[in-house]
Every structure is written in C-alpha cells, then in structure tokens.
Amino acid sequence: MSGPVEPVEHDPFGTAALREATLATWRRDPSRLRQDANLEEDHARGSYRDRVVVELAQNAADAGNAAGPSAGPGQLLLCLTTTPEGGELLAANTGAPLTADGVAALASLRASAKHTQDTVGRFGVGFSAVRSVSDEIRVATRTPGGAAGIAFSLARTRAALDDAARDLPALADEAVRRHGDLPALRLPFPDERPDVPDGFTTAVRLTLRGTAERDAIHDALAAADDVLLLALPALGAVRIEVDDAPSRTISDVTARWRSVRADGTLTAELLADRPVEDRERTGWSLTWALPFGQPALAGAPPPEQRLVHAPTPTDDPSTLPALLIATFPLDPTRRRVATGPVTDYLVARAGDAYADLAARLTTGRAGSAGAGDPLALVPTALPAGALDGALHAAALAALQRTELLTEVGTGELIPARAAQAITGPVGQDEQVLAALAPMVGGLVHIPTGRTAQARTLGVALRELADIVQTLPTTGDADTWRALYATLAPHAAAHREALAGLPVPLHDGDTFAHGPRGLRLPTPEFGVLPVHLPGLRIVHPRAAHPALVTLGALEADAVTLLEQPAVQAAVEGEVASDAVTPAGAEAAESGPAGVSSIVAGVLDLVRQAVEVRGEDVVLPDWLADLPLPAANGESARAADLAAPGSWAAEVLDALDPVHPALVEHWGESALRAAGVRADLVTTVVRDVVAEPAAADDVALEGWEDYLAHLADLLGSGAWVGDVAVVADLDAVTDGTAGVWPRLLTRIAQDPGAREALLTKARATSGGAGAVTTAPSYTAWWLREELGAPFAHPRATGRVPFVPAAPDGTETLDDAVLAAVGAVGDLADLDPAEWDGYLDHWPDDGALAMADALALWRGLARAAATGARLTPPDSVPALADGAAGMAPADDVVVGTPMWAQVRAVLPAPQHLVEAVADLLDLDVAEDCEPQVTGERLTPTPPGALVIVPAAPGEWVECDEVTVAGRPVEWWVSARTAWATTTTGLARALAHAAGDWSLRHRLEDVLTDPQSVDDVLAESAGDDA
C-alpha cells in the first residue's frame, strides 16, 4: 500500500454543507433525529454483519459499472488486519471514483447515487451495512487533483450533535435518550488522511468495533467464493488478504461456471405498485449458474442454506440445484424478495432461463458449454417457501417443454413428454438401449438416481416387460440377435419380463411371442428345413444362448428329428403316399421325386451325421421314412439297401434305394435314416413280456417273441430295453452262402454280437429272483436254424440232434451256444428242450450210451425246473436193454424197477421231478414175495463204505415182484437180496447213494479190501 496522499483541499465533497443541512433538520424537528437513528440502529447492532463484505463488493461493482466497459473488469481488494482489540478492514476498488453526489447518497443512507435502469445495487442494504461492524469509517478516492476522502465517526457525530443541541433542550433530550446510538452515517466529515492503495480508485477503511466484529469479518472473507463474482459481474477479480497469510484471489469465474443470463425492460404496468425510485429503474436481469462438470452446486451451501441473490444474498431460500441471481425487488428490510407483479414476471423469466441452462447440459446442442446431466436440474424436493415454490413451478413448466433428453439411436433432443425410459438395471445398459432404440420410439437413458426427476419431468417410465410387449414383430434376424446379445447379462434375472420377447422363426416370415419352447439351432446347424411343418425353430442368424436362458431348447439336427412334429409330418407323407415316382410329371422337391418334407428330414439326417459322426443314434421312426427304390416305387427306408453294400448282397429281400438319393445325400446319411448297408442294431424300449404289448414294432415275429418271453418270464414281466438285430427276415434261403455270411457278420459286429448274447431278464417275487430268456436275435436265429443242433466241435454225446448248419464251424462257442448249438445235453436251456424233443424217434432200440445221455439230460432238466410238452415216446430201460417206448407204458423210477418193467430211470431224489417233467407215472412202492428169508446183519465193512445202509438185510432164496423174479429189492429201507451183487445194489439203494454199489460189492466179496476200496475213493468228489 502507498502512504497518505495530500488532499486537494480540506473539504472537496462539501461535507460541511451536508452536515449543516442534517443538523438543521434535527434542530427544526428532533423527531427526525429519532427516525434517522432508528434506521441506522438496526445496522449498528450487527443485524447486517453478514452483508458487510458483500455490500462493499457491490459498491465496487457499482464503481465498475459507472466507469463503463472501457475501464475493464473491476478489481476489489479486501484486506483484514487484526488486533487483539479488533482491527481494520480495507476495501479498495477500481472503477469510477467517489463523487460529491456519491457522498451525499452515502450520507442519506442510500447505496448509490445512480438512477440508471441497469444499476445493479439499487435493491441492496448498501453502504450502511458497515455500521454493523464499525463506528469509525473512512472513504478515500482519487480525484484529478489528488486523493480526497470523507469519514463517518460516531464520536465526531456525538460531538457535533452536542454542540447543535446546546440551546435546544428537545434535541438534547432526544440525543441523551439514544444512549449513544446515533446516526453516524448522516454526518460526513472530511478525512484529513485520505489513503488509496496503488492500482485502486477508492478505498474504504473500517475500524472494527471489537473482537466479535473482527471474527465476523474473518468468517465472511473465508466464505467468499465464486458466487460473489457471479452476483456482481462487473467485478473481474477479488483479492483477499488476512494479516500476513498468503493472499487468495477469486477470478476467472466464467471458466469454472456455466451460466445463463437473461435481461430486459420492465413495463410501466409491472412497476405500478413499486416506489417512485424503483419505477425509474426499468431494467431487469437474471443469471442462473452451475459449476462446470457438476450436476448441481458443488461446494455451495447445502440446499437448506442456499439463498436467492438479488443480486446480493437475500433471506429467501432456494432449493433448486443452481444459483439464481436476479434483480428481484426487495421489501423494506432489504432481506426478502417483495411480492408483486415484478416478482411474478421475473419468476416466469427465471423458469425459462433455468430450462435454457438445463438445455446447455445436453450433448450435441450447438453452443453448449459442455455435456452434463440436465435431469440434475429437475426439482424434486419440497419447496422451502412461497418464492421457492413459484420458482419450482416455473422451472418445471419450462423444463417439460424443452428438448432436454437425447433419444437413443438418433442422438436428437426431445422433450420429456415425447420420451420413454426403461426402469431398473436394464434401463442403465446402454447397449440394450441402443439395440432397442430402432424398435422403441423416443427411448432415452435415465441415469442412475434420476428416476424421480424423470418422473417429475413427465418421462414415461416403463417396466421392461411393458417394453417387450410392444416390440414389433418385424426386422431381420441379425438385428434381433444383436438385441438378444445385449439382453444376455439380464436374461436370468428378468426371465418373466422377457417371456414375451419376439423371436424370428426359421421360415424368415413369422415370429414367436416368447422363446419358451422354441428350438434353438446349435452353431453348426446348416440347412434350415423350412419345409417341415410344425417346427418352431429360431432363425439361425437370430440364435443366441440368451434364448436358452429364457426357455428355448438347444437343438441340433438330432434334437429336431426327435420332435413329434417331424415324425407326424412324415407319417402324413406315408398316409398320403406323397413320394412321387421317379420320372413323373409332378413337381419334384428333391432327387427322384422326394417330397419337400422327406427332403427336409434327410437334410437333418445328413447334418446329424456330419456333426456327430456316422455312429449317431437317431429316432427309430426314421425306418418308416418313405423313399423311392431303384425301380421308382416307394418303400420304407428300412426295406431298402444301399447299392453295392453288404446288405444288398446278403439281405437280398431288400430293394436297392434309388441311386439319386445316394448321390445327393450320401450313403452315410441314408444309413442313418434307416436304409440298410450293413447289419443294423436297434433298441426296443420298455419291453413287456406280453404279446398284446407288441405295438408297432416292425420286427419279424416280435409278437411271437413276446409270447415266448411270457412263457419263460411270466406274463406281464417288465424286461426293459432290448437290443435287437433288425432285418433278419430279409435273408432268403434261396441265395447260397448268405447264412454263413450273416452269422459271421453278427459274430464280428460288436453291437450285433451284444444283441445276440445279452439275454432278456426279468425280476420276480419278493426276493428279487432274476429269470432270463434268450435275446430276440438268438430266439429268431434258433427258430430259423432249427435249433438245437449239434455243436460242430462237440465232444459230448447229444443223440437225435441235427448236424450243425453250413458255415457255423467258424463261429466261436459263445455265438454257437446262443444260436442253439449243443455239445452235450447239459448245454440245453430249459427253453430248448421242447425243440429237442421234436427230434426224438417214436420207437426203436437205443444204444445204451445214447440212452444214458438222455436219462441224465432229463434229470438235469427236471432239476432246473424246465417245463416240457409231454412226448409220446420216452427212452426206457427194460430187461437190461434201452429203447423208445410209448409214454403210457413207462413209469419213472430207480434202476431197481428195470428188473420188473419198462422204466425211465432217474436218481432217487429226482424221480418225482422227472415224472412231472414228462407227465409220467411214478413207480409205486411195493414189497416183494420172498422164500427162504433169513435176517442177516450187514457186514461191518459194508457199513464203513456206506454208513447210511441198513444194519440188517433179508437174505432170501428167491425174491419176486409182480410175478417176476428179481435179484434184489428195497422197500421202506428193508433190503432183500439173493446174491452178493444184489446185496450191494440193495444196500446202496436203501442208503440213497446208488453210486456206491460197486464199492460195496468189492467189500462184500472181499471183506479185507475195505482199506483198498477207501483208498481208491480218495480222489472222488466229496
């Protein structure tokens, strides 16, 4: 700062005259002193401490305005020098200097002496606010002749008033009654020490009254910010200094704040109710301001502390999220905006300007100061008073008709009432919005946290489900897939909302309402079978995994072939005989006149083979696919063979398929569809052992096989899935060598071999007993080959079976057993005995070895629970010879009975079972007629060999049964014998161990041979 400047004269502003005029008024009418004192008292008591800095800044702005634009932006210095008692505040400004008229205005408690229509500070508290902090005020200014100044002093005012009231008791009494509260600003005095800092025009110095005033000014300086310059645009910079701390400068406010300014002229009608001085000032202006890059007033006081500026702060709150500075008229307190037509008019203009400020926050608007969030300016809180409520209403009305929102896709700005937005997380996904925009008019993005503002503004906020319901069922598949891709992250959480999402179908013309139940082609899906009716397949170019989340089912060619609609279409073809004979004039849809439906199915089959390989398992109904044979006639796929294939050579009952089909779809696809090229193994599902359950299984003799299963496993037994070799009936006996080739192929092909060897099983009874039966393939081949037949490499004895068919000699034992080859009667399954009985002769002698094999085989069959159709002739033993005898003449019994009649010998414990097996009588027990009987102890050596033998036996001279002499007999454990050999047999029979008869005979002949006999039996089975 500079030192004191020499004054140009002692009283250049005529303060003496001003003082004399004021004192004369008080002398004439002491009540005027009271009026002036009362007016100033409110200021002096501190009511306007919060306005001092602002009012000094406004004085500086007025000076800048008075200097005109050529002087440049105004500059203001605010310097606080503190002391323990208080301190001093200096306010120095540039601009027009203080004039005599200005001094007169200050001394008359007015803020300005100017009367132009654009004076900013005409409504404020003005210079008088300084009395709230100071009793000693000095104002210095530069003049052409040097520095000059005035002073306002409470002490000097008191002295002048005392002098004026010496002869006026009434005035003296009024002064005394004021207790020192005198109107110091009414009496200006010359400043003997005018002091103006370099670079400034005018300086105001306030000697602060005390510490409270000092602290208030300190806080006011600390709180000064950009709002000060926004309210006073004539100021370009404010520098703040407090003691020795670093100075702080507020400047370049337009670089940090976005603002909208409006101005104009008030009409006489609007000003009619205002005071005369206000009516002379017709100009109006207002400014809305927001910090750049901020949705609202960052760093500003909280909403409950924001105030309307007119242009200095009023006590009227504003909850709108922007700063309002306007030339509102004030009430007499200079703290509140006055009601009336001017205020109403300015409120309406403020609403328009506020909408313009919001519009400047939008993207892409010409002249925009930068993109922002216009919704941040939409008022949603409750107004904080009448003025705030009016501003809310005006702002909202203007915002609603302003193009603030950017339409997704077009980038055009549209008003809120033409806009719609999606609520929830999906509405925040810009990719989803971009994909939906071409289908949803007026779609906008409402940022997170702005839903209330959008609703207040009038944007149609819609749930995702509502948007989905209005989507058009038009557009190309690629566009829809792009939409599904953007919706994919939301699909799981919004399944119900997206349930009605349109989906283009494979025909390219129709749409489904919702993905649920649709078939989604896999990525490798090739040709679309558009000619297959009833299929609801998503268009391949629209296919996206999100549709699976929403209920679509992934489908490749195999899955589609499993659809009932495809099978029904083919069945319709069969019913209508839709295959056109080759060469016919009817329009063809495929090679050799294949219909469009059949061609579509074959396309799917080819895709299935290409993707999954030739081993792909396809539905069994494809075997019924109507295809043209080489002769042009239609036939089931399963009744056709690929030309030149193994099937064409061996399964010679099949017709060759039309070669055009092989050329077009390939042999692999035709095989997968059912055309035969080799052995075909398939599976019959859920088989039940009941002929009535044959359904439509197209296998030769299937119903008879089920009857066979019912006999063996029980009617109604559940067998489950049965693998079978198909087309066995296609082999004709007239072609030489086909059976060996067929059997060899079955034995070598893993699937066919398994189908042959895997027996049918069923569980029955509470204990879960498992019974088995031959597989269908084994059953069919046994019937065809006339099983049982002799094993080509048999080592056992199997009487009466035919020789093995040609070609079976190369088959392995497992396959031979399955098709009915037997090397021993023990190999016969219970089910094979009936077939074996058919080979028995009706009569004739039997070689004893053959007869023995038969008797042992029958005993084993009875032991396993076999059931036979009773034969007319059975192998019998009589008089030491074997032969076939009528069943009615034979009984079942032990070999003992062969001494007296024809008997079918059986082990003693199986006699009943063998009799049941063959429906024969059992030999009845009877006692013999004897002569010369002698009860004799059983030799000890015999009891060593057979401990269970009777301890006594009856030695006889003669024994007869039924009139025929016998060598021995046993009845009820009583043994009769006439010879040593007979005794050995009688004791073995009585002990129930027939196999020991020869050992007994050795011991009976030579009692000393017991040990030798026992030693020889050491290797016998236990």
Beta-carbon neighbour count of residue 220 at 10 Å? 20
Q: Is the pLDDT of residue 767 over 70?
A: no
List residues bridging with 640 in a β-sheet. 655
Q: Which residues contact 358 (CB under 8 A, 6 or more apart)?
A: 374, 377, 378, 399, 402, 404
Burial class (CB within 10 angstroms; exposed 0-12, middle 13-18, buried 19+) of 615 = exposed
User: Per-residue pLDDT averaged across 811-818, rounded?
Assistant: 89
User: Per-residue pLDDT averaged across 806-821, rounded?
Assistant: 86
Choose from 462-466, 526-530, 738-742 the range with maximum mean pLDDT: 462-466
Q: Is the pLDDT of residue 613 over 70?
A: yes
CA distance 415 to 403: 4
pLDDT for 661:
92
CA–CA–CA angle 478, 482, 488 (5° rounding): 140
Q: Which residues contact 726 (CB under 8 A, 6 or more apart)?
A: 623, 638, 680, 681, 682, 699
pLDDT for 931:
94
User: Per-residue pLDDT averaged across 439-445, rounded?
Assistant: 92
**Per-residue H/E/C for 270-310:** HHCCCCHHHHCCCEEEEEEEEECCCCCCCCCCCHHHCEEEC
Question: Token pair of 612, please?
Answer: 């999954």
Tens of pLDDT along 32-61?
988 888 888 766 565 678 789 988 998 898
Kindly report the average pLDDT of the chain as a whole number.
Answer: 86
Question: Domain map of the chain by residue range?
Answer: 15-244, 582-591+614-746, 927-1022
Beta-carbon neighbour count of residue 402 at 10 Å? 20
pLDDT for 371:
60
Beta-carbon neighbour count of residue 586 at 10 Å? 9
Kindly provide the b/e burial profile for residues 826-843, where b requires at least 16 CB atoms within 10 angstroms of the residue's own CB: ebbbbbbbebbbeeeeee
Tens of pLDDT along 59-117?
898 898 888 888 889 999 999 999 999 999 999 999 999 998 889 888 886 544 444 43
Q: Which residues contact 712 (CB under 8 A, 6 or more apart)?
A: 689, 771, 772, 773, 830, 831
User: Per-residue pLDDT averaged across 153-162, rounded?
Assistant: 92
CA distance 334 to 338: 9
Q: Is the pLDDT of residue 3 over 70?
A: no
Measured in Å, how far apart are the chain's first and last C-alpha atoms? 136
Tens of pLDDT along 170-209?
888 888 888 888 999 999 999 988 999 999 999 999 999 9
Burial class (CB within 10 angstroms; exposed 0-12, middle 13-18, buried 19+) of 65 = buried
Collapsing DSSP states into helix, strand and coil, what is residue 328? Answer: coil
pLDDT for 582:
40
Tens of pLDDT along 397-424?
999 999 999 999 998 999 999 999 999 9
DSSP symbol at 868: -
Listed as own residue / partner, the contacts of 546-550 with beta carbons closer than 8 Å and 24 or more positions apart are: 546/484, 546/485, 546/487, 546/488, 546/491, 547/484, 547/503, 547/515, 547/518, 547/520, 548/520, 549/488, 549/491, 549/492, 549/495, 550/491, 550/495, 550/498, 550/499, 550/501, 550/514, 550/515, 550/516
Q: How confident is the model at residue 428 (pLDDT cuts 50, 70, 90)?
A: very high
List the one residue out of 262, 316, 320, 269 whose CA is nearest residue 290: 320
Burial class (CB within 10 angstroms; exposed 0-12, middle 13-18, buried 19+) of 882 = buried
- How many residues in total does the chain contain? 1022
User: Per-residue pLDDT averaged across 19-37, rounded?
Assistant: 91
Strands across the sheet containing 934-937: 934-937, 952-955, 974-977, 968-971
The larger pLDDT score, comparing residue 23 to residue 692, is at 23
**How would you classify residue 727: left for phi > 0, otherwise alpha for psi between -120 and 50, otherwise beta?**
left
The rounded percent of the chain whose pLDDT value lies above 70 is 91
Q: Is the pLDDT of residue 299 over 70?
A: no
List residues bridging with 955 in a β-sheet. 934, 977
Looking at 227-236, 387-396, 565-574, 958-967, which range is the least confident one? Answer: 565-574
Beta-carbon neighbour count of residue 495 at 10 Å? 14
pLDDT for 583:
39
CA distance 124 to 522: 78
DSSP symbol at 985: H
Helices (H) and strands (E) in the chain, counts: 35, 44
Q: Is the pLDDT of residue 528 over 70?
A: no
**pTM to 2 decimal places:** 0.60
For residue 686, give the amino acid letter.
D
Q: Is the pLDDT of residue 971 over 80?
A: yes
Tens of pLDDT along 199-254?
999 999 999 999 999 999 999 999 898 888 888 888 999 999 999 999 999 999 88
CA distance 153 to 184: 6
Q: Is the pLDDT of residue 7 over 50?
A: no
DSSP assignment of 458-511? T-EEE-HHHHHHT--S-S-HHHHHHHHHHHHHHHGGGTTTTTT-EEEBTTSS-E
15-244 has CATH 3.30.565.10 classification: yes
Tens of pLDDT along 301-354?
555 458 888 877 888 999 898 889 998 988 877 789 989 999 899 999 999 999
pLDDT for 119:
38
CA–CA–CA angle 207, 212, 215 (5° rounding): 85
| CA 468 remoteness from chain centre | 17
Q: How confident is the model at residue 529 (pLDDT cuts 50, 70, 90)?
A: low
Say if CB 877 and CB 903 are below 8 A apart: yes
Sign of CA dihedral 554, 560, 562, 565: positive
Q: Is the pLDDT of residue 154 over 60?
A: yes
For residue 242, give the amino acid letter.
V
| CA 867 remoteness from chain centre | 62
pLDDT for 321:
86
Say if CB 706 and CB 690 are below 8 A apart: yes
Q: Is the pLDDT of residue 578 over 60?
A: no
Looking at 102-111, 619-628, 760-769, which range is the least confident one? Answer: 760-769
Q: Which H or E run includes 163?
A: helix 154-164
The reply to whether omega before 545 is within 30° of 0 (cis) is no
| CA 739 remoteness from chain centre | 58
Q: Please state, in angstroms and as integers, the Cα–Cα distance from residue 753 to each residue in 635, 646, 730, 745, 822, following that order.
A: 28, 17, 18, 9, 19
Say if CB 630 and CB 643 are below 8 A apart: yes
pLDDT for 113:
44
User: Per-residue pLDDT averaged across 608-624, rounded?
Assistant: 87
